[in-house]
Amino acid sequence: MSEQSSGASPGVFQPISTGIVAAITGFASSFVLVIAGLRAVGASEAQASSGLLALCLLVGLACIALPLYFRMPISFAWSTPGAALLVAAGATTDNFGAAVGAFLVCGALIVLCGVWPPLGRVITSIPRPLAGAMLAGILFPICLAPIQASIEQPLLAIPVVLVWLVLYRLAPRWAVPMAMVVAAIGIGITAGTGWLSAPTSAPGLVFVAPVFDPLVIVSLGLPLFVVTMAGQNVPGFAVLSTFGYRPPPRSVLVWSGIGTMLGSVFGAHNMNLAAITAALMGSPDAHRDPSKRWIATVASGFGYLVLGLGSGLATALVAASPPILIIAVAGLALLGALVTSVTSALEEPEHRISAMATFLVTASGITIVGIGSAFWGLVVGGIFMLWLGWRRPLGA
């Protein structure tokens, strides 16, 4: 029986349900990392809650506006690797205003990539082994957290890890959300219900005046920009092209850059093209008719707007949790990204030493002249690559 003869309702239900699942999955799998990252760079509980709310609102509006205009499943998200970078850069600054200044600069650079394509080409031409190794170095300490938590908080952490492991085999999409549910139950047992009535449990936006500290911009803003462009926006465009969509890069980058700038003054770190959830909403899972898959993205946008109402409670829950348990859940969520980044870093044999140098420096967490390890990892890896690449022809 054709779709027309079977009624329009099933055809509409499929993309709407797919979009709602994508929104829930995207939110539940990484909101803990967003809050932990914002707190690591100096945000108060209220400012972290504001940042999460701003991200939900901006991502939701972007997922509604652009798909409606272009009739494509152009989906947005916040940068999970970017949030991991905030956790790794925690020693860089405890002045959240300076972090907000770095977020604002990151957004301005994304806008510049949209209006001046040569800059985008420069960023995306950073050798994949170095970009992958830098991201792997950022993620590695966080992905160790499940092991550390299982030793320090075994009664809370081991059930979380086991639930994640079982569902990753049987229903991978729900592995991290359900692990978070189990973690929340454990937190509820140990911390009681006081967090439900915390002052920050109601959602609200808090303005944060940006402070433009050159050292924080170099150690946080520039790596965040590189991670967003090379690790999020480029894969996002690639995913859409896989399903036959060609969204205009200028509109997408300018929109996401302006959104990042607007959200930064309310504590949001950045927004960008989605990749994983884009694959869900751009595929036949959303609708067998490619011209109707944009409905899934619009539905996910409304889903994010609703989920934003829970940003206060989510922040209160994280605040009531043992920090190692929160990072452990985030580490489970980032294992797939770690595997991908390590694979990217090591896929070219001639650049493996350079990539490993980048990885080791980044993972070390060092800070030199106030600049964090992600920046120095790229610098050291670039020096290794130039030196080894220059020396090789002489021995030929």
CA distance 219 to 141: 18
Look at residue 9 and tell me if it is in a domain. Answer: no
Question: What pLDDT does residue 2 have?
Answer: 41
353 burial level (CB within 10 Å; 0-12, 13-18, 19+): middle
Q: Amino acid letter at 195?
A: W
Q: What is the DSSP letter of 293?
A: T
Task: Report CA dihedral (77, 226, 344, 134) to the nearest 10 degrees.
Answer: -110
CA distance 159 to 335: 18
> Residue 209 — very low, low, confident or very high, per pLDDT cuts 50/70/90?
very high
Look at residue 354 and tell me if it is in a domain. Answer: no
Question: What pLDDT does residue 128 have?
Answer: 80
Look at residue 275 and tell me if it is in a domain. Answer: yes
Q: What is the DSSP letter of 368?
A: B
Q: Quick one: which of 383, 374, 373 has its CA closest to 351?
A: 383
pLDDT digit string, tens, across residues 114-147: 888 887 777 667 788 888 888 788 888 888 989 9
Burial 179-194 (b: 16+ CB within 10 A, else e): bbebbbebbeeeeeee
> Residue 279 — very low, low, confident or very high, per pLDDT cuts 50/70/90?
confident
Look at residue 330 and tell me if it is in a domain. Answer: yes
Q: What is the mean pLDDT of residues 8-26?
A: 76
Q: What is the domain extent for residue 308?
A: 14-343
Tell which wins on pLDDT, 265 or 395: 265
Q: Quick one: which of 394, 50, 102, 57 has its CA closest to 261?
A: 102
Q: Quick one: which of 385, 106, 366, 38 has its CA closest to 259?
A: 106
φ/ψ of residue 284, rounded to 5: -60, -15
Whether residue 175 is predicted with pLDDT greater than 90 in this model: the reply is no
Look at residue 99 and tell me if it is in a domain. Answer: yes
Look at residue 367 and tell me if it is in a domain. Answer: no
Look at residue 114 and tell me if it is in a domain. Answer: yes
Q: Quick one: which of 197, 209, 208 has its CA closest to 312?
A: 197
Question: What pLDDT does residue 73 have?
Answer: 92
Q: What number of H helices and E strands is found in the chain?
A: 20, 2
Encoding tokens for residue 81? Answer: 């690797």
Percent of the chain surpassing pLDDT 90: 34
Mean pLDDT value across the chain: 84
pLDDT digit string, tens, across residues 84-123: 889 877 777 789 999 999 999 999 999 999 888 887 777 6
Look at residue 349 and tell me if it is in a domain. Answer: no
Question: What pLDDT does residue 304 have?
Answer: 94
CA 64 to chain centre: 19
Domain count, the chain: 1
CA distance 164 to 83: 21
